[in-house]
Structure formats: C-alpha cells, structure tokens
Amino acid sequence: MNPTFLQTPIDYLKGVGPNRADMLRTELGIHTFQDLIHLFPHRYIDRTRYYKVSELQQTNAEVQIIGKITHLKMVEGKGRRLVATFKDDTGQMELVWFRGHKWIKESIKLNVPYVIFGKTNYYSGKYSMPHPEMEPLAEHEKSLRSAMQPVYPSTEKLTNKGITNKVINGLMQTLFLEAKNHLFESLSKPIISELKLMPKNEAIFNIHFPQSQAKLSRAQYRLKFEELFYIQLQLARKNMAHKSKIKGYPFEKVGPIFTDFYNNHLPFELTGAQKRVLKEIRADLGSNAQMNRLLQGDVGSGKTIVALLSMLIALDNGFQACLMAPTAILAVQHYNGLLELCKNLNTSISLLQGSTKTSERKIIHENLENGSLSILIGTHALLEDKVKFKNLGLAIIDEQHRFGVKQRSKLWHKNEYPPHVLVMTATPIPRTLAMTVYGDLDVSVIDELPPGRKSIKTVHRYDANRLKVFAFIRDEIKKGRQVYIVYPLIQESEAMDYKDLMDGYESISREFPKPNYQISIVHGQMKPADKDYEMERFVKGETQIMVATTVIEVGVNVPNASVMIIESAERFGLSQLHQLRGRVGRGAEQSYCILMTSFKLSSDSKTRLETMTRTNDGFEIAEVDLKLRGPGDIMGTQQSGVLNLKIADIIRDNDILKIARNEAWKVLKDDPTLLKEENRIIKFVYTQLMKFKNIWSFIS
C-alpha cells in the first residue's frame, strides 16, 4: 500500500466527519485509513445461501430471502407496529417494525425484489422477521458486500451513537474503492510461492469481503502468517545482532576451581539434562559473543547447581559472578545454599540486600572493586550505582519475569563489555510463548528431576472433608514431617485475606494445641525481621506447621516438609498452584499436596484442579494455563506488548507460528542483512515496521 495515502487521518474518509472520527479514535483506536483497513472482523455471518419461505425452520436462525413486499399496514394496539406482507414464489411471511415507521414507509417500494436478512420468529402458524436488514436486489448484486458478512469489533458507545456494524461495513467499502490501487505486496516471491500464499491485495480484500469460505480461510492464513513472520523476524534479528555485535568475554578454559568442585565436592551425580544444559552454557561462554540464555527447569530440577558450575567457570577465567533474586528470602536461601556447597573451595561469597548494614556494605563495595570478592548474591540492591565490580563476567538472574527490562540492563552497564547473562525460571513457559516472547534468547530446558525424587501426590478435597485432612496432618507430623497451610492473597482485598489467614490460624491452633505442636505464621504485613524469624524456626524444624500467604511461593527450601495444603485453591491460578506444590517433595520421602475448595466451582476452576491432580509436568500445566488465561495475562504487562496481535492467536495458530519462525530463520541464515533482491520487500517492510513499532501500522 502507498504508505502516505494510508496515513491519511480517518476524518477525511467520506461518511466519517469529526464526530464519528472522534468516536472511532477513542473506542477502537482508529486514527488513519491504515488503522481502519486493519480492523479485522472477529466473526462472519454466512450469507452464501438464499432461503425460500417454504424452507424456513423454527430455529430462530439468521437467514436471507429474496422476495417482494406486496402490502403494508399499521397495526394499532399495545405498541403500534408497521407490518409488511413479504412473498416469494413458495409462500408468504410478515416483516415487522416497532419503531422508525415513517422513514420505513417512505423508503419501501412495493412489488420490487428485495433481499431481506434477519432472525425469524414463528407464532401461531406464521413466520415473521422483526426489523430486517433490507436491500433492493439490484443494489445487492452490485455491492461489494460478500456472501460471508463480516462482524467487526464494536463497543456499546459506538452502537448507541449509530455507528453500527453496517456503518463500519459501509466505511470499509468506501475506503476499499479508493485504496485498491495503493496495495502492494509485503512478502517475498519465494515465500509466497513456497507456502502457496494468497497475494496481499486479494487477502486484504477477502478478509473484509470474503467471496467464499475457502477464500476467507486462505486470506486469514496469509495475514496470520505475515503478522507472526515479522514478529519472528524481529526476534531472530535481535538474536543474531546480539551474537555478532555484542562481544562477550570468551571464557577459554575450565580451570582448577571448577574441576576440584566437580570431581571432589559435587554432592550428587548430575542428571543427563543438567549435563546437557551445562554443555550448552559452556559453548556460549567459550565463544566471542555475549551469552543471553534462558534456563527453564521445573521446581526442584536442580537449576542452582548448574548456576554455581557456570559461576565457577567465570572464576577460573579471572572474572567475578553475581546472582540476583527477586526477594530477600530467596536471596538468603541462595546464599546459604551456595555457602554450603563452596565451603571447601577457595572462593569468597557475600550477600547484599536492602537490610545489609552500612558497615558491611562498605566492605562488600571495597572487596568487589579490588576483586577479592568472587561471587555476590543479592536482591535489587545489586543494581545500585554504588555497586561496582572489578570485572563482572557472569550475571545470573533468578525468576526473571519479576524484573523489568530496565533493571536487567543496569547490570549490563557495570562493565566495559556486558557480562554473560543467564536468566533462570521455575515457571515453565509454554513452548509457544517462549518462541514468541523470548525468541531473542537461547533457551535451555532441564526436563528431568534428580534421581530419588518421588512424584508429589495431589488430591482435591472439599471443605466438608476437613476433619479427615486434619487427621492426615497428625499422622504426617507423627512421622516427623512438616506441613505448609497456605491461604490466598489477592491484593484488592488484603483486609479480607488477612482475616481468612487469622481465622485459619486460630482454627489450626485449636486443632493442634501447644505444647504438642508449634506453629509458624508468615504474611505480607509482617516486618521483614519477624518474617525471617518465623521462617527460620520452620527451616530448623522448631515448628511443625507453617501457616502462610503466598509469600512462600518462590524458593523456600525445607526438605523435611512433605505436605502442602492450599486453602481456597479455586482462587489461585494454575502456575501459582504448581509453584506452591513445588515447595514440598524436596526430600526423599513421599510428599502430598491437598487442594481444599468449597463446592461452588466455576468451569475454569474445575479444569485447573483436574489438571493439578492429573499431572506434575510444569510444561503441560503451563500450556493449559495459557489456554485458560491467554498470553497477555501470563506475560504480565511488561511483555504483553509483543503479543498485541491483530489477527493471529499464538495458541490457536501455533502451527502457523512454527512455520513463520522457520521461514524467518531460513531467510536470515541465507541473507542476514536482507540485501538480496528477492528480500528487498521484506527489508523495506521490516525497516518501516521498526519505525512504527506496531506491526500492522506498517504491514500493508
């Protein structure tokens, strides 16, 4: 399309005018001709068939019929109505209008062929159609309107202001008649012929005025492919540019620190998956490019040991390493775990968080700058300007979706060259989403659990079974085990959640009285020091039961805890349920997760609970979660912009996504700078796309 013509403000389209233009801008985000042409219908009414009056059924379906109006009359009584007799060659029916009588009476011509469309009613042996859409047959045959009628996204305000679907359809026709000479192709000939794609102008035409079901289907495929192709191209180019432009420090050797630890102090044999991932990381660290890798592994799959081994490679090459966690609890846990693992190595490790005393901070800052401190673990405190490394070679970020892009880039600028980056997450990201949102990262997956880990048994129980659940808790505590009881925390109603938690705590205290039982309680409104104290008691085994809100979702590691009870489980999302379940099953004993709910459950809640009891596979759970919640919700706000899709749906169109990804990589592997003649059009569209940011404001 001619970009300048399509950037014309919507106010200048015939039939729009200033008031309509304002409504279209505020309600649908339509500012230009381009925006209107990319307002894609979200469903279609099939008008491929013309019914006869004798074929009508009592289905209340939308049908269209060709016939003539032979008679018009006003019927008085309860609510005046205008009634027309409508006939075709097989029978007759009534058309009824309850308002707008004067205008309709004046505009209808008797005994002229009309096409009528609408829902039929059947009453006392007669069919009628209230407020039909009507068009003289001669005009119907001339108009652009296709047999498949598009239904466009709309809002209540638009409808109330008379901007109906019919009006939008009319504007689309007007625009099309003007724009058809401004359409140009936006994919290369090789891609179009290889995938047998419909040409661009034909696809845009058929998305708005489909000539048949088959053509509509091809048009949708073409436009979905194109949208996903340019997103994948963008991600693939980012990935390639990253590797070619952003030089990293090559870690050329695996030296004595790594070898000593691996041969003499590794507490257990690595799984095949851990070895494979370590190999991928070593290959990245050894190259001249900066590593930018996402490490996914389900709860308990052993990501921490892989992180430590990666840090030891940095140390062997004379560099420092850091690990950043989203919460103080998690940072302290990483610190204690790594301290224990490294106790026989000649390495120095420190912890830096918001609550670190000024005197300690000073020492940490000095040791970082003179290089005597090798590994720094911490929270957001690592990002402060005061924190300067002598030579940071590797930055590891845990649960990265909790950090924004800006925060991550701060770590990058701690050095002349950016450090290698390893991003870890225990939230399995569905493959579909990883391909789209993290397409610029290389992805490693630890997909097996360490040997000796037993699968957690998950059951769903209703509140009425509570006494049996209490009896089960007593049995487990007798065996020397510990128990979590978690209450939901939903920000909007913290007061209510707090009450739920305190009520729960009181009833648990009655069931499990002192001195036989000791209970810890942890929630978001406590001071950090009190929280840490209560956590510490549970970790040391001084308390048998931990009553908590979701603050324990990430990273608390108590191998002796074998039971996780989740209260009001229907109020949690799937990934949260899976994260909480992962707090148990860390020792060699059989662990259990009990999902408690009321009897009133929505169908989504039932699906979530059924999924949890059926599988422990985080990736399968993530796929179900994606289907239930949609991609925007899962990514959180900072990433959802990537998925602001106009026509494609990354869940339903997963197959197209894979093809688009392959094509994008194929094009770039053959022609990284898009300089070949055949890719000239792709280069042009891509350049414009980067300028406009929104994919459809230029794919045209």
Q: Check residue 635 and give its pLDDT.
A: 43
Burial of 262 (0-12, 13-18, 19+ CB in 10 A): middle
| 29 and 58 assigned to the same domain | no
Q: Check residue 227 and give its pLDDT.
A: 92
Return the higher-pLDDT residue of 247 and 120: 120
| 177 and 127 assigned to the same domain | no
Q: Check residue 437 and give its pLDDT.
A: 63
Alpha-carbon distance values, 248 to 165, 281, 664 (Å):
55, 13, 26
DSSP strands (E only) in 35-78: 43-46, 62-75
CA pair distance 353, 332, nearest whole angstrom: 9
| 78 and 174 assigned to the same domain | no
CATH number for 123: 2.40.50.140
Strand 121-123 vs strand 126-130: parallel, antiparallel, or unpaired?
antiparallel
* Ranges 36-50, 258-272, 371-385, 642-656: which has the least confidence: 642-656
For 160-178, write each residue's pLDDT tens digit. 888 888 899 999 999 988 8
Q: Is residue 542 predicted with pLDDT exceeding 90?
A: yes
For 176-211, write each residue's pLDDT tens digit. 888 877 778 999 999 999 999 999 999 999 999 988
Q: Check residue 438 and give its pLDDT.
A: 66
Alpha-carbon distance values, 376 to 292, 341, 417 (Å):
20, 15, 19
| Dihedral angle, C-alpha 326, 328, 329, 331, nearest 10 ° | 70
Q: Is residue 147 predicted with pLDDT exceeding 80?
A: no
Q: Is residue 492 predicted with pLDDT exceeding 50?
A: no
Q: Is residue 638 predicted with pLDDT exceeding 50?
A: no
Q: Which three-class secondary structure state does DSSP give residue 46?
A: strand
Quick one: average pLDDT of 444-458? 82
Instruction: Give the percent of the chain with pLDDT over 90.
Output: 45
Whether 677 is in a domain gets the answer no
Whether 515 is in a domain gets the answer yes
pTM of the model: 0.63
CATH number for 422: 3.40.50.300
| 379 and 473 assigned to the same domain | no
Whether 126 is in a domain gets the answer yes
Boundary (domain end) residue, out of 616, 644, 667: 616
| Spatial CB neighbours of 128, under 8 Å, sequence gap ≥ 6 | 93, 94, 95, 96, 120, 121, 122
CA pair distance 552, 266, nearest whole angstrom: 28
pLDDT band at residue 491 under the 50/70/90 scheme:
very low
Boundary (domain end) residue, out of 446, 479, 496: 446
- Residue 209 phi, psi (nearest 5): -135, 70
Per the listing, tokens 């179009």 go with 192
| 398 and 510 assigned to the same domain | no
Alpha-carbon distance values, 613 to 8, 419, 456, 457, 458 (Å):
56, 42, 10, 8, 5
CA pair distance 573, 630, nearest whole angstrom: 12
Whether 26 is in a domain gets the answer yes
Q: Smallest Cα–Cα separation from 232: which of 560, 587, 663?
A: 663
Boundary (domain end) residue, out of 586, 616, 646: 616
| 286 and 404 assigned to the same domain | yes
Q: Is residue 61 predicted with pLDDT exceeding 90?
A: no
Q: Check residue 494 and give its pLDDT.
A: 54
Q: Check residue 195 and give its pLDDT.
A: 96
| Spatial CB neighbours of 194, under 8 Å, sequence gap ≥ 6 | none
Whether 227 is in a domain gets the answer no
| 437 and 462 assigned to the same domain | no
**End-to-end Cα spacing for the chain:** 5
Cα dihedral across residues 463, 465, 470, 475: positive or negative: negative
For 407-431, write each residue's pLDDT tens digit. 666 776 777 778 898 988 877 777 6
221, 197 Cβ separation under 8 angstroms:
yes
**Hey, which of 200-204, 381-385, 533-537, 693-697 has the most confident mean pLDDT?**
200-204
Return the higher-pLDDT residue of 6 and 350: 350
CA pair distance 535, 514, nearest whole angstrom: 19
Q: Check residue 694 and give its pLDDT.
A: 57
Burial of 100 (0-12, 13-18, 19+ CB in 10 A): exposed
| 367 and 513 assigned to the same domain | no
Arithmetic mean of pLDDT over the chain: 85
| 514 and 593 assigned to the same domain | yes
Whether 208 is in a domain gets the answer no
- For the chain, what's the residue count? 700
Quick one: average pLDDT of 586-595? 89
Whether 211 is in a domain gets the answer no
The residues that bridge with 128 in the sheet, in sequence order, are: 94, 121
Q: For residue 177, give the H/E element and its range.
A: helix 165-179
Structural domain total, the chain:
4
72, 108 Cβ separation under 8 angstroms:
yes
Q: Is residue 555 predicted with pLDDT exceeding 60?
A: no
* Ranges 153-167, 254-268, 593-607: which has the least confidence: 153-167
Instruction: Give the percent of the chain with pLDDT over 70.
Output: 89
Q: Which three-class secondary structure state does DSSP give residue 597?
A: strand
Cα angle value 622/613/503 (rounded, 5°): 100
Return the higher-pLDDT residue of 639 and 242: 242
Q: Check residue 43 and give its pLDDT.
A: 81
| 488 and 588 assigned to the same domain | yes
429: containing domain: 256-446
- Residue 520 phi, psi (nearest 5): -100, 150
Whether 432 is in a domain gets the answer yes
Q: Check residue 404 and give its pLDDT.
A: 57
- Dig out the tokens for 23 from the structure: 């409504």
| 483 and 561 assigned to the same domain | yes
pLDDT band at residue 87 under the 50/70/90 scheme:
very high
pLDDT band at residue 439 under the 50/70/90 scheme:
low
Q: Check residue 637 and give its pLDDT.
A: 34
| 14 and 138 assigned to the same domain | no
For 313-359, write each residue's pLDDT tens digit. 999 999 999 999 888 878 888 998 899 999 888 899 999 998 889 99
For 278-317, write each residue's pLDDT tens digit. 999 999 999 888 888 889 887 778 888 999 999 999 999 9
Quick one: average pLDDT of 476-487? 93
For 258-274, write each residue's pLDDT tens digit. 999 999 999 888 999 99
pLDDT band at residue 213 under the 50/70/90 scheme:
confident
Per the listing, tokens 């041969």 go with 263
- Dig out the tokens for 309 from the structure: 């081994």
Q: Check residue 617 and give its pLDDT.
A: 82
Q: Is residue 218 predicted with pLDDT exceeding 90?
A: yes
Amino acid at position 208, single letter: H
Q: Check residue 559 and give its pLDDT.
A: 83
pLDDT band at residue 636 under the 50/70/90 scheme:
very low
Q: Smallest Cα–Cα separation from 622: which of 447, 402, 484?
A: 447
